[in-house]
Amino acid sequence: MSVEVKVPTLGESVSEATIGQWLKQPGEAVKADEPIASLETDKVAIEVMSPVAGVMGAQIVKEGDNVAVGALIATIEDGTPAAGAEPVAERTEAPVAPASASEAPVAAEDPVTLSPAVRRAVLEHGIDPASIKGSGKDGRITKEDVLAAAAAKSAAPAPAASAPAAPAPAPASSGGRAEERVKMTRLRQTIAKRLKSAQETAALLTTFNDVDMSAVIATREKYKDLFEKKHGVKLGFMSFFAKASCLALKDIPAVNAQIQGDEIVYFDYVDLSVAVSAPNGLVVPVVRDVDSMSFAEIEKAIAGYGKKAKEGTLTMDEMKGGTFTISNGGVFGGLMSTPIINPPQSAVLGLHRIEDRPVVRNGEIVIRPMMYIALSYDHRLIDGREAVTALKTIKEAIEDPARLLIDL
């Protein structure tokens, strides 16, 4: 007896998705409520669960196909896998053809199911996927896992040679330059459309400032152990910038407003969108009512969203809304950038790396841990004076964190 597996309801206003990856192959045992496929929508990846226990049957659609809500995508059959069956050979997709004979494809017998982005990273860096411990959901390998393994491999010291090694044979030339075509994921297509729309619709402008991080670093260093012991979460810099942003948005309401048609909508609350890097692209979950949250609540919310983004388990509701965005390019080493707004929002704060730089204090040149910050804004709604003032308020609150306590 076969049980049909159909595309589940994906959320408000979402009518279709793309088959991102089959997590089970025909003939493999399946447990009830075990994920058998991942779907990519315009915003998040959603796993399709098996309604019953049994054996994976037919896959009605292929990876990369678009499917509507309610569409039949697979069947689950009664029974158990045949004894002695070798489903592993079927499980992994055929490897991408290497650009030259020197590039080793992913072994067909590798038992790890790799997404297209991960498979490409494995090929580019020459990493054996069997040697990587996956950090994704159910132990699946993410692109970040491959990059970390590649970094560790390049950092490893070369073994001492007691005798000259035989020269390796020169790799055969492919006689040309390689190209690879990879279909854009639905998420990446949506990101591209939204960012291009932001450029075409908003009058984008960016103002910059720099922040002396000495006071925040000293505060964090003094209280981080007590903070983690009491609240069970680490004290980071994001909570300081979130609270400082709330001060600025309260003083300059236009930065927390939106243009809707021929009206301006002002919000008396702050729903903070936090840009987070996920395996399939940048996602922006929303921390609701951040203006009324404590430092610990903010840190817990951001840490939870970061974990869910890495696992690909963010829901549609967690991505909806937002009145202001913070994007931290500093975690990747960025020194300065012009962040782009997240429509229909009107402003975004960009954070960057902290580095020691010479600055003048009381007529003397001293070394301080400095960070460039940037505020991109929609000039249709926000004047330059308002943008500069908002960014200056954030700077002053970070350089004197007591302001966060006395609402100054």
Active site residues: 379, 383
Identity of residue 300 = K
**CA triple 184-186-275, angle to 5 deg:** 100
β-pair type (204-212, 72-77):
unpaired
**In 3-state terms, what secondary structure has residue 395?**
helix
Sheet strand arrangement including 35-40: 45-49, 35-40, 16-22, 66-68
**CA triple 291-294-300, angle to 5 deg:** 105
**CA triple 98-102-104, angle to 5 deg:** 55
Task: Give the integer Cα–Cα distance in Å for 42 and 31.
Answer: 28
Token pair for residue 368? 């301080």
**For residues 182 and 189, is the Cβ–Cβ distance under 8 A?**
no
Which ranges of 29-137 does DSSP label H, i.e. alpha helix?
A: 88-91, 116-125
Task: Give the integer Cα–Cα distance in Å for 20 and 393.
Answer: 44
Task: Give the integer Cα–Cα distance in Å for 45 and 220.
Answer: 35
**For residues 146 and 125, is the Cβ–Cβ distance under 8 A?**
yes
Using CB atoms within 10 Å of the CB of residue 61, give its burial: 0 to 12 exposed, 13 to 18 middle, 19+ buried.
Answer: middle
